[in-house]
Amino acid sequence: KNVPSQIAETDWYNYGYVAATYLLFIFVIPFLSITIMNIAIVRKITFAKKNWALTSKRQKAQLKMTRIPLVIVVLFYILCFPSAILNVWHSFTNFSNQEAQAQFMTFANLGVVTNAASNFLVYSAMGKKFRDTFLQMFGINKDKKYPRVKSIKKSFTAKSKPGEEIPK
């Protein structure tokens, strides 16, 4: 059983450190900055969709790619919000049921860990070029569509003597 230190049991620690710093640096600043930036992105997308006929193929492809960061941000909100709320709530309340507290914290931490792993899955699911490049880097997809991967792979496998430059 974890036993909190004397400092961890003080009101200053719970309100000043846990609530204020966690709320500010882990919750408010990231959520606000991400929200503001994504509102700007959504406005640009909405404007571009109104002028869709005048939009070039390259711009259309870029607009489609903006869906990936938007999905990542929505996942961030959904998966990290419970942890932020629970940590702030915990600093202001005293849980009488330690088992329930542990279950809530486990659930909230699972969301944070899942968020950390979700970006790769989103890129894999939504980006064909990302999938193809990733597979080609590991020799699974021999498609010659992306020559950059071939040059990266070549630079990792090229052998040189000390002081000798690796050929490009």
Q: What pLDDT, on a 0 to 100 scale, did the predictor assign at position 103?
A: 86
The total number of structural domains that make up the chain: 2
Q: Are residue 15 and residue 80 in the same domain, yes or no? A: yes
**pLDDT at 110 (0 to 100):** 93
114 and 131 part of one domain: no
Given pLDDT bands bounded at 50, 70 and 90, which one contains residue 51? Answer: confident
Residue 114: pLDDT above 90? yes
Are 15 and 76 in a shared domain? Answer: yes
- Whether residue 150 is contained in a domain is answered as yes
Are 46 and 83 contained in the same domain?
Answer: yes
Are both 41 and 76 inside the same structural domain? yes
What digits encode the pLDDT tens for the residues 71-102? Answer: 888 898 899 888 888 877 776 777 677 787 78
**2 is a domain residue:** no
Look up the pTM and report it. 0.59
- Are residues 11 and 47 part of one domain? yes
The full DSSP string for 26-77 is: IIIHHHHHHHHHHHHHHHHHHHHHHTGGG--HHHHHHHHHTHHHHHHHHHHH
**The two structure tokens encoding residue 14:** 């719970």
Q: Contact 45/62 with Cβ under 8 angstroms? A: no
Q: Please tell me whether residues 32 and 64 are part of one structural domain.
A: yes
Domain termination site, one of 118, 140, 158 = 118
pLDDT per residue over 5-41, tens digit each? Answer: 887 777 777 777 767 777 788 778 888 898 898 888 8
Q: Which domain holds residue 147?
A: 127-168
Q: What is the pLDDT of residue 111?
A: 92
Residues 99 and 43 in one domain: yes
